[in-house]
Structure formats: structure tokens, C-alpha cells
Amino acid sequence: MLFEKIKMKKLFRNKPAFCALILISIIVITAVFAPFIATHDPSAQDLPRRLSAPSAAHLLGTDDLGRDVFSRTVYGARVSISVGFFAVLITLFIGVILGMVSGYFGGWVDSVIMRFTDIMLCFPTFFLILIVIAFFEPSIINVMVVIGITSWTGLARIVRAEVLSIREREFVLASKMLAVSKTRLLFAHILPNAVSPIIVYAAIGMSAAVLTESGLSFLGLGAQPPMSSWGQILMQGKDYIYVAWWLSLFPGIMILLTVLSFNMIGEALRDILDPKDSKI
Amino acid sequence: MKNKLIPFLFLFFAACSSGVTDKKHESPQYDGAPVYGDAFITAIASDASFLNPILASDTPSGAVNAMLFNGLLKYDENLNIACDLAESFEVSQDGLVITFRLKRNVKWHDGKPFTAKDVKFTYDILVDTNTKTPYSSSFMLVKELEIVDDYTVKAHYEQPFAPNLESWGMSIIAEHVFRGTNFNDAPANRKPVGTGPYKFESWQTDQKIVLKANPDYFEGKPYLSKYIIRIVPDSSVQFLELRNESLDSVDLTPDQWNAYDSFFKSYDKYRQATFSFTFLGFNRLRKPFDNKDFMKAVELAINKKDIIDGVLLGTGIEINGIYPPQSWAYKEIPKSEYDPKKALDILKSIGFLDIDNDGYLEYNGKPFDFTITTNQGNKQRELSAEIIQQHLKKIGINVNIRIIEFSTFINQYIAKREFDAVIIGWSTTLDPDQYSLWHSGQTAPRQYNFLSYNNPKIDKLLEQARTTFDMGKRKKMYHEIQDIMYEDPPCIFLYFPDSLSALHKRFRDVKDFPIGVGYNFIEWWTPRAEVKYSFQE
């Protein structure tokens, strides 16, 4: 417990990571309490006031159908955060299980899983996602699932490598001698010891997922109207960049901040969780 | 994307034009005699498919082919039928025979003379069932095309066909170029030889197509030495290029049209009414879209004024019918009203009811929603769909929107009738014959009546009108069609968009004609001092 506390302290002492943590908290709170924070109904159209500049009535201006950009950005946070969260959840589920099974059992199981991982790695993820979305209807659920099932490969390899070394340790041998079941051994004994790289991967995976979702929505394959997402507002803004800068700027900043924050937290966690770093 | 230049009907992609123009700024008309030189650079949104006017059915190919080829006849600047490759023409009393006398001084780009054989060859190719052309139907009505001598041809018709002259606007291709080749993938489809004011020079796929002035053109050598078509897929990128002055002519969206004047320092803006309408159409093969009352209710629930004001920004008109005011067949029809309350009453009377009080109506006790599908790349249609979605939500109808790439949309959705509702447009001919759009016999997979509209009275009038030559009688029939369609609309008419474009100011002798700005393109020129691109001749 003391150990955890010291780690948390280190995280807070790392200024960029601390700022990132605050930013992420704000964005998550925004996403959760979107209906209370938004000043307008995000899909309410007000055509006479379309493309009006930021003002007191519309904090970040309006889009091409007169919808409030601030409210749409707030609701967009929901899409980005939930896509990031669920995509990473799926990634973790697949990556951790395949990695552990592969690392622990070794032999032909390992070969089969790792060759399959190699095959998956051959395809550029973004194009794989494009193909899958083209086959199914574009929807935000599909985006989550597809990002999840295409980005587990790196994690599976990391987990496998960790497990390979952990399974040789004495406590594993001890557990085996006590006839602990394989599932229990894997999940209760080995997994907790391999958790640091997984946490780091998850944090960085969040940022990748948010970025991928924005990219897909920018191409019109993510969130479908009238739902709003940052990538989608950005795409709208592209057509009006010469008259309505606010349409591209604010969602762009939000994507930047979110991705940057997750990356910084990931970096900081990596430093802190590094066992070679002896300074406590 | 479908063609606009050859007189047939097309599903259109963005606005295509020909009609009344309204020039915003007046550029000073100079001084001095025209000089040769300079280039004209324009942009198209996607690459051409065939530089062969028989095979091409898309707007980009059409735009290029118009510079390379000529038909026997054309529309003149005031929208009257006039001679192009024909010297004169004559229609027999009964309307069954047209005699064309051809111009004698016309040469193909490779120097060979143009003769009646080429006309006959073009006709043979058009009616050959192996040719992959969408333009055969009008020529199938020609019983025989007879070569009288080298410069005279006669077209014999089975029965009178009113739009027959218009159909001879079809571009003529050279016999000696295609003879003995497989027409559908002949090398000349990428290296065209025509009779037009510009000759083909080069084509870099997805980059640009370069044409050069034809010194032997029968109406005189064009003043501008090169005609360059660049492929710029994104309209916002085209607009940025316009601000850099790297394009001479660009189509504008309504928002770009209304952008700051300083963007257009070196450009004139042109606005033209079009013969094309955008509509919301329902698939009558599905329930409840086959119910007249359902469509009536949807129409009452949509405030079309919102679309005209909010999406087109006033650069278009609301018309409740198939003809624009500049058509001779146009009849003023009352506009549809906006009355959501009445819409709800109608819906209730045909089985829609909100049983579970969730704010959405159920149809015969089951949850109800439908999908509006439209094509990517036409912002006005996407926005219209979102406005309609919002308006229908107010009366409790749940609408989904799908936006799909144009050719997939046409081939996978429209052709297979895989849709609930679509927003799309027809770019129509100047001749009011719309037999293929609304006749109940035109509903086969690739045919144009994809909404499966079926009204026996309309069928009969369409058949009669296209075989009647008397303008007065024809006009009456088209008026009657519009009256019947008011009672039984084939679709919900949204708007007739204007075509908006910008043109660089350095060109002189640019004139506004009722048919459009580019009509006298070969007479455009740039004064020496303002030449932007120079070439060694």
C-alpha cells in the first residue's frame, strides 16, 4: 500500500502528468455531465443564425445548421471518451488473454497465437478498420468494436514477454506445488505482476483510439448525424474554414488536448512503473 | 455524376446548368483586337472516365468531351435548335424523316475530312447492343439512317418523335479511328480524335487533362491556346486554389458564393438557373411509402423554406413540379404548405400512433423509422437531409441518414431499389419529355423510374406528348401532367438549385447568354499585358 502511495505521489509531482490528469478529469466529467454543462440542445437547429461567430449566446459560435458548437463539443466528448474507453477495454481483454496464454503455455499454442498476431500486424490498422466499416454500417458501436479488435496485437506481445519471465519465478513454482488451478495462477498470481506495462499500454491506447475515432468521423464513417463528435465537427469546419474558423479550431484543440493528456499520462506511468528506476 | 451536355436525362451529382444567367459584377470590356495565347485552367471533382462521348455518362468526361466533339445540331445561345456539324436540316411534313446536309469544311483533328460515313458509323455504334452506352434509346427509334451522298444523311423514323431534333445533339465520332477496334475499350477512348475547337494533348490520370487550340476549327481557331482541366476532388480545396488564383474557373457552394468580396478580387461571379431539381423520393415497393397519404403527411411536415434559406442561402427556388420557370412547359403550381398538425392528423388516420408515449409514432403497433440515403460530396443534400430529419422528429417520425459515395449509391442502392427514401436530383433536358423518369414501364433495374411511380393518366399523357409535334398541344399536355402530379406527386420536390461559379477577370468577350456563360468560349481572349501563361507556338 505504501508502495502505491509513493507511486501516486510521484505521479502528482510530475507536473506535465499532473496537468494531464486534471485535463482528463475535466473531459471525463464533461462527458458524464454533458446535459448539465451544454448550454443548448446539441441537435437543435437555428438556421437564421448559422455560422455565427463565438458570442455570449453561443460560446464557441454555431455550425452550418445553426447548432451550438459548444454544446456539440461537450456532447462530442461523450463519443470520444466512450469510444476510447470501450475500445481499450476490448483491446485489453483480447490482448491480455492471448498474451498470457501464449506466454504461459508456450510450445505450439505460443507459435499459433504469435503467428496470428504477426499476420494481424501486417495490415495497417486504419485501413483494416476502413474495410470493416465499409462492410458493416457506419455507427459508433462498430467503431468501438473495430478499434478494439484491431489494436490488441502490441499488447499481446508485451504481455507474452512479461509472462515468459514471470512464469520462471519461484512464487509461480510455489503456487504450482500448492496445486493452484491454472486460471487462478494466471489471473491471481501472474497477471498482477505484469500489470504495469498493461496500464501504460492502456493509457497510450486511449489516445490512439480517440485519434482513430476522430479520423473515422472526419471521413464520415464514425458518428452519424445528428450525433456529434469532434472529428465530425472538424470535417464540417473544413468546408467553411475561410469564413468560420471556430468550427475547426475548437474541436481540433479538444482532440489535441485529449490525445496529448493520455500520452503524457502514459509516459509518466512508464517512468514511474519502471522497476529499474531505483529512486523512490 | 452524370453528363449535362448531351441532351439526355441524368441523375446529377452537383448542380449542372443551362439557363438564365445573372452576372454579379460587370467586368470592363476592353479595347483592342483579340490576340492569341494564354491558357484557361478549370477544375473537375473527379477524373474523366472515357474521352469518348458515346461511352461517357459522367459530368467530368462530358465537360472535356464538349471541347473535343460536336453534334450535328446544338442549342444556340437563346436555347433554340441550331446547326453544328450540319449545314442545314429539314423535317418532313409528317415528322418521320429528317434530312441533314453536312458542313463541307470540317476536318477531324488528324486532318481527315468529316463526311456522312462518320454520322452513319456513330448511329451504327449507338444502336449496336454490344456498345456500353446509355444514349441508345432515342436512336433505337430511328428505323434507318440513309447516306444520300458524302454530305447528306436522312434519318427515317418509325413514328413521330417530338424530341428527335434534340437527340441529334449527340456527338459524332470518327469512323476511321474506331473501324476495326473493339469499341468499348479502344485506345482512342483515352486519346480522342474529334472535330471540336480543342485538340487532345495529354491526360495524366487523377492529375490533369490538357487540350490545345485546334487551328483548323470550322468556326475559327480559339484565342486561348490551352484548355487545362485539373482534377481537384474537394470543393474546399478548389476554393483555396481560387484564392491563390491558380484556377480560372471554379464552381461555388452557396456559402462560398456569399464569402467575403475580397476573395473574389480577380474573379467575376456567375449565377444561373438550372433545369435540375432535387427531391426526396420514396421507394413505393416498400410499405408504408406506397401510401399517397404518408407522402402527403411528410410533405406537410417539412418546411421547405428552411432548406431554401438555410442551405441554398436563397440561391435556388422552391417549385412544386418537374419544370423550372424558364421551360416552355412550365405551369405555375401552388407551393406546398407547412402544417405539422395536419400532417400528424393524416398519419393518425393511416395507422400511426404513439402507443408507448416515447415521443415517436408507432406504425400498426410496431416501432417505425426510415432511412434517407444520399450521396457524398453534395453538401446541400446532406444538410437538407439533416433539416428534414429534424422536422420529422417534431411530428414523431424517427429518421436515419446514410451518406454514401456516389457510384456505390447509384449501383448498389438506386439500381437495386435498396432504399426507403433518397435525396437526389435530376438534371433534365431542355425538351420537357420526361417519359423515362415517370412512365410506369420504365422501372426495370437500370431504368430511371426507380421510385416505381405509377399513374396510368400520366403514362398516357407522356406517350402522347412525345409523339405530338404541335407545340400548343404539347404544352397543354405537359400542363395537364403537372396538374395531375400536384394531386399525386411522384416525390417531394425540394428545390431547383442555381449553378454558381467564379471566372477569372482577365478573360475578355465573356458574354452572358441564356444558355450559359461558356457558349462563346472560342472567342474569349486575354490582353497581352494580362497573359498569365505563355507558350511557344
Is residue B87 within 8 A of residue B70, CB to CB? The reply is no
Instruction: Considering only residues B18 and A88, tell me which one the structure prediction assigns the higher pLDDT.
Output: A88
Query: What's the whole-number mean pLDDT along residues B35-59?
Result: 87
Instruction: Give yes or no for residue B94 having a pLDDT over 70.
Output: yes
Among A48, A220, A243, beta carbon nearest to B255: A243
Among B255, B376, B386, beta carbon nearest to A225: B386
Q: What are the pLDDT digits (tens) for B367-424?
A: 899 999 998 778 889 899 999 999 999 899 999 998 887 777 887 888 889 999 999 9
Task: Measure Cα distances from B231 to A9, B269, B509 in Å.
Answer: 58, 21, 27
Query: What's the whole-number mean pLDDT along residues B218-226?
Result: 92
Look at residue B391 in the predicted model and tell me its pLDDT: 92
Query: What's the whole-number mean pLDDT along residues A95-120?
Result: 93
Q: Which residue stretches of B395-507 are H helix?
A: 406-408, 435-438, 456-466, 471-487
Which chain B residues touch A47 with a CB distance below 8 Å?
Answer: 306, 309-310, 387
Q: What are the pLDDT digits (tens) for A216-274?
A: 888 878 887 778 889 989 988 888 888 888 999 999 999 999 999 999 999 888 888 87
Which residues of chain B form CATH 3.90.76.10? 70-187
What DSSP state is assigned to residue B528?
G
Query: What's the whole-number mean pLDDT along residues B483-500?
Result: 92
Look at residue B29 in the predicted model and tell me its pLDDT: 52
Task: Give the rounded percent of residues in chain B with a pLDDT score beyond 70.
Answer: 94
SS3 B171: strand
Instruction: Considering only residues B443 and B86, tell me which one the structure prediction assigns the higher pLDDT.
Output: B86
Is residue B435 within 8 A of residue B162, CB to CB? The reply is no
Which stretches of B92-151 are assigned E, i.e. beta strand?
97-102, 142-149
Amino acid identity for residue A11 in this structure: L
Q: What is the mean pLDDT of chain A?
A: 88
Q: What are the pLDDT digits (tens) for A135-189?
A: 887 788 888 998 998 889 999 999 999 999 998 899 988 988 998 888 888 888 8
Instruction: Give yes or no for residue B5 having a pLDDT over 50.
Output: no
Among A137, A226, A239, beta carbon nearest to B389: A226
- At the second CATH level, the architecture of B15-65+196-272+500-537 is 3-Layer(aba) Sandwich (3.40)
User: DSSP states of A133-177 as a string?
Assistant: HHHSPP-HHHHHHHHHHHS-HHHHHHHHHHHHHHTTSHHHHHHHH
Which residues of chain B form CATH 3.10.105.10? 276-497
Q: Which CATH class is domain B70-187?
A: alpha beta
Look at residue A205 in the predicted model and tell me its pLDDT: 92
Instruction: Give yes or no for residue B518 having a pLDDT over 90.
Output: no
**Which residue does chain A place closest to B307, by CA atoms?**
A47
Instruction: Give yes or no for residue B58 having a pLDDT over 80.
Output: no
* Length of chain A counted residue by residue: 280
Look at residue A276 in the predicted model and tell me its pLDDT: 66
Among A132-146, B455-469, B474-488, where is mean pLDDT lowest?
A132-146
Instruction: Give yes or no for residue B13 having a pLDDT over 80.
Output: no
Which chain B residues touch A65 with a CB distance below 8 Å?
Answer: 310, 383, 386-387
How distant is the Cα of B259 from the closest Cα of chain A, in angstroms?
7
Look at residue B56 in the predicted model and tell me its pLDDT: 82
Among A45, A238, A243, beta carbon nearest to B387: A45
Instruction: pLDDT band for B194, please (50, 70, 90 cuts).
Output: very high
* Cis check: omega of the bond before B340, within 30 degrees of 0: no
Instruction: Give yes or no for residue A133 having a pLDDT over 70.
Output: yes
The helix, strand and coil proportions of chain B, stated in percent and rounded to the nearest 5, come to 30, 25, 50
Inter-axis angle of helices A125-135 and A140-150, to 10 degrees?
140
Instruction: pLDDT band for A22, please (50, 70, 90 cuts).
Output: very high
Look at residue A277 in the predicted model and tell me its pLDDT: 58
> In 10 A of CB A13, how many CB atoms?
11
Question: Inter-chain contact A137–B386, Cβ cutoff 8 Å?
Answer: no
Which stretches of B49-126 are assigned E, i.e. beta strand?
73-75, 81-83, 86-91, 97-102
Domains of chain A: 83-275 (1.10.3720.10)
Among B240, B256, B383, beta carbon nearest to A65: B383
- Select the residue from B237, B255, B263, B382 to test the A interface by mutation, using most A Cβ atoms within 10 A: B255
Look at residue B2 in the predicted model and tell me its pLDDT: 32
Q: What are the pLDDT digits (tens) for A6-19?
A: 777 777 788 888 89
Is residue A152 within 8 A of residue A100, CB to CB? The reply is no
How distant is the Cα of B347 from the closest Cα of chain A, in angstroms?
24
Question: Inter-chain contact B402–A137, Cβ cutoff 8 Å?
Answer: yes
Question: What span, in angstroms and rounded, lies between the C-alpha atoms of A142 and A221?
Answer: 10
Q: How many whole angstroms from its chain centre is CA B440?
A: 23
Look at residue A227 in the predicted model and tell me its pLDDT: 83
CATH superfamily of domain region B276-497? Dipeptide-binding Protein; Domain 3 (3.10.105.10)
Dihedral of CA B137/B327/B71/B83: which sign? positive
Instruction: pLDDT band for B174, please (50, 70, 90 cuts).
Output: very high
Q: What is the mean pLDDT of chain B?
A: 86
How distant is the Cα of A112 from the closest Cα of chain B, in angstroms?
39
Q: Most confidently modeled of A72-76, B256-260, B360-364, B518-522? A: A72-76
Q: In angstroms, how far apart are the furthest CA atoms of chain B? A: 78
Which residues of chain B form CATH 3.40.190.10? 15-65+196-272+500-537
Q: What are the pLDDT digits (tens) for A196-220?
A: 889 999 999 999 999 999 998 888 7
Which chain B residues touch A45 with a CB distance below 8 Å?
Answer: 310, 386-387, 390
